[in-house]
Amino acid sequence: MNSLELLLSTLLFATIVYFIVRTFLKSSTALPLPPGPKPWPIIGNLPHMGPAPHQSLALLARKYGPLMYLRLGYVNVVVAQSASVAEQFLKIHDANFSFRPPASGAKYIAYNYQDLVFAPYGPKWRLLRKVTSVHLFSAKALDDFRHVRQEEVAVLTNALLKPGSSPINLGRLLMVCTTNALARVILGQKVFSYGSGDKQSNEFQQMVVELMVLVGVFNIGDFVPALEWLDLQGVQAKLKKLHRKWDDFLTKCIEEHNIKIDSGNISGTGKHMTLLSTLIGLKENADGEGGKLTETNIKALLLNLFTAGTDTSSSTVEWAIAELIRHPEVLAKAQAEVDSVVGKDRFLTEADLIQLPYIQAIIKETFRLHPSTPLSLPRMASESCEINGYFIPKKCTLLVNVWAISRDPAIWPEPLEFRPERFLPGSEHAHVDIRGNDFEVIPFGAGRRMCAGMNLGIRMVTFLFATLVHAFDWELPEGQKAEKLNMEEAFGITLQRKVPLMLLPRSRLAPKV
């Protein structure tokens, strides 16, 4: 039997098994599956996903409702596309949906599920979550490293203050700032410079964006296992190649860190020790039920931090500045508020943010319109359950369309309009929190598998954005008009701008600053 005959036989067998199982599921429960579009043979509803799945699914919800069933290949999938349905999954049934389904991105990039984001729910995941929560994301850790964020944002501000007539790629500079701020906490040192010719920072940004795009691809091999070995989209080959680049980068970071500890340039113990020093210490000492960390666990966790902790913050600030370019009246109000609190004779600090409700409203509105993760990382049901009168099968994959929920016209008047005022005190949505408690806006997800770095992300985004508003006026390059600014999205795990934001910064602070 040649390979083609073997492939056809395998597909035929898998199809028969699928329909037998599907028939059994229907006959074994009185509850129906949620509504959804009719699947194609073999590949199911994969063609319905389109190049921008969050947008395609939102359109399908108009016909099939906020709880929708899909069959992607041979995988059962349910999609939550309203706040009330998302709350059912992520709050009422959170424990049942705390697992991740198998995926090529996690397998080939995240060291075969050895990280925090994609690790199976269990002791090792809890250990990784505990370490990052205590040493990086707790209120105390955030306060301890406040000076690092302020210093790195000041470095960015000074870099932007240098006179020049050429437009700057704001996204790239924001990426350098967020990466250096994080690297100083994790490694005890910066990793990039702001020079336009800095090859390392350019390559790093390309690596981050490529990872976010590839992991966001709906890979046919994940949903039709018989076709996995063919790698029809070339995703596996690209993931393996990218993994080697990331592994080289992370290995170099660890080696340089160990050298600096040995030379006394970085503290390996005590109050000012880095996160990497803490992680290395856990290689030798078991910590409760999670046991010891391996070097692979450490690399995988660093990978999470250097991707999710940098790209999401920088892209959110880039979207926020783009919206202000399109809405100069919002920019004027934001600058007036900052000037009334800070003035123009000093830099803004994190302590000032609590007095800036309009700035905070702008950030909420940006997270609403441009959530950093438009389609939540998939979860998987450990047991079958009932949601809103529908049967949800065991091992069913859950997707939450965060993008669609925050644009739901039933909740948000004029949902496509950028209106920060909707979050100001006294407005209808003033109470809405973005930390996973109010399901109308859940940019960081909700429940036990929500984004671990949420508090750091909110602080970094708000402070960085407020500083850029305070310190600069922003102009588009000659010939471009604000009303025609390209706001197209490039889909991946994170929501990137399709066209980078190129701007001319003009200082508005006193010369002595």
Give the domain range for residue 334. Answer: 31-507
pLDDT band at 27 (very low <50, low <70, confident <90, very high): very low
Can you tell me whether residue 234 is helix, strand or coil?
A: coil
Ligand-binding annotation for 451, yes or no, is yes
**Cβ density class 98-120: b for 16+ within 10 Å, e for less:** bbbbebbbbbbbbbebbbbbbbe
Phi-psi region of 56 (alpha: psi -120 to 50; beta: other; left: phi over 0): alpha
Q: Is the pLDDT of residue 108 over 90?
A: yes
24 found inside a domain: no
Secondary structure (DSSP) of 428-452:
TTTT--SSSSSTT--TT--STTS-T
Ranges assigned E (strand) in 311-395:
379-380, 385-387, 390-392
Q: How far apart are CA 459 and CA 59, in angstroms?
A: 33
Residue 4 within a domain: no
Least confident interval from 222-226, 292-296, 314-318, 394-398: 292-296
Count how many domains the chain has: 1
Which helix (H) or strand (E) element contains residue 497?
strand 496-497
Q: What is the band of 287 on the pLDDT scale with cuts at 50, 70, 90?
A: low
Query: 457 with 451: CB under 8 angstroms?
Result: yes
List the CATH number of the domain containing 266. Answer: 1.10.630.10
Would you say residue 14 lies in a domain?
A: no
- Whether residue 130 lies inside any domain: the answer is yes
- The angle at the Cα of 238, spanning 236 to 240, to the nearest 5 degrees, equals 70
Across the range 400-419, mean pLDDT stands at 97
pLDDT in tens, 452-495: 999 999 999 999 999 999 999 999 999 899 999 999 998 788 89
In whole angstroms, give the CA distance from residue 54 to residue 49.
Answer: 8
- Name every residue whose Cβ is closer than 8 Å to that of residue 117 and which is 6 or more positions away in sequence: 106, 110, 304, 308, 377
Which conformational region is residue 270 in: left (phi greater than 0), alpha (psi within -120 to 50 degrees), or beta? left
Q: Cα–Cα distance between 131 and 96 in angstroms, integer?
A: 24
Strand partners, 136: none
**Which 8-state DSSP code applies to residue 44?**
B
Q: Tell me, yes or no, whether 10 lies in a domain.
A: no
Q: Is residue 50 a part of any domain in this protein?
A: yes
Is the model's pLDDT at 10 over the cut of 60? no
